[in-house]
A and B are shown apart, each in its own frame.
Chain A
């Protein structure tokens, strides 16, 4: 039987198409040589050795749209038009990346107004 508190934690780390996400305040992100380098600040340390996260061109396109105003569903629709690719394919990429970023606390969900 799953403990209720643990169940809540698991639920919080699942992304939702209806939700909007924004970069966490506990990260620093800079473009270096064409890639976006994200350094999470874990326990007050920006660790270039172990904790670095790099986004390629596709990841960057998704990242740039995580502005807290668009839901993931809207991000999928926009990218599908921009990349001229089926929404199903884009949705897999968007959800996969968002899930990973959320799990590492690089992005946070924006509460509904």
Chain B
């Protein structure tokens, strides 16, 4: 998302409104997939916690990114995509624009990834276990799970 759209997002959140848009990319698979619609809320004066999925402006690329908080150091947050190889680095609080509060896929709300389980997911993400362990296991068992479901 380029600078103009980031400005639009900031302007909406500054009015204490939510911002709903389509996410692009694969770095948050399986919890947020390419083309999922995400709704971001303002932080309302609070601070994000470990496990929260946040929308932030990368201090390195200056692009809007939606990834998960996996750690905190003072006023900086360690943020990483659930299936990204590397973290985004330590991001200052001021770069974090809002918190993802809903994810929709094909018109249905996705419940996994933003609830109480998000703290565990953050731990797995930080250690690379989503990418290196859970996703490969899921790809193996997904055909079996689908057959059971039908």
Known contacts: A30-B7, A32-B4. The answer to whether A46 contacts B19 by CB under 8 A is: yes
| Contact present for B21 and A45 (CB under 8 Å) | no
Name A's interface SS.
strand
Residue of A nearest to B18 (CB): A45
Known contacts: A45-B39, A49-B37. The answer to whether A32 contacts B8 by CB under 8 A is: yes
> What residues of A have a CB within 8 angstroms of the CB of B8 in the complex?
28, 30, 32, 37, 39, 46
Binds A, one of B9-17, B24-32, B70-78, B86-94: B9-17
| Contact present for A48 and B22 (CB under 8 Å) | yes
| Contact present for B4 and A33 (CB under 8 Å) | yes
Known contacts: A28-B15, A39-B12. The answer to whether A49 contacts B7 by CB under 8 A is: no
CA distance A33 to B7 in the complex (A): 13
| Contact present for A28 and B11 (CB under 8 Å) | yes
Partner of B4, one of A30, A46, A47: A30
| Contact bitstring A28-64, B, C-beta under 8 A = 1, else 0 | 1011110001010100111111000000000000000
> What residues of B have a CB within 8 angstroms of the CB of A33 in the complex?
4
> What residues of B have a CB within 8 angstroms of the CB of A28 in the complex?
8, 11-12, 15
Shortest C-beta distance, B131 to chain A (Å), equals 29
| Contact present for B12 and A41 (CB under 8 Å) | yes
Contacts from A to B (Cβ < 8 Å):
26, 28, 30-33, 37, 39, 41, 44-49
Contacts from B to A (Cβ < 8 Å):
4-5, 7-8, 11-12, 15-22, 37, 39
Given contacts A48-B21, A49-B21, 18 further A-B contacts (CB under 8 A): A28-B12, A30-B8, A30-B11, A32-B4, A33-B4, A39-B12, A41-B17, A44-B18, A45-B19, A45-B20, A46-B12, A46-B15, A46-B18, A46-B20, A48-B19, A48-B20, A48-B22, A49-B37
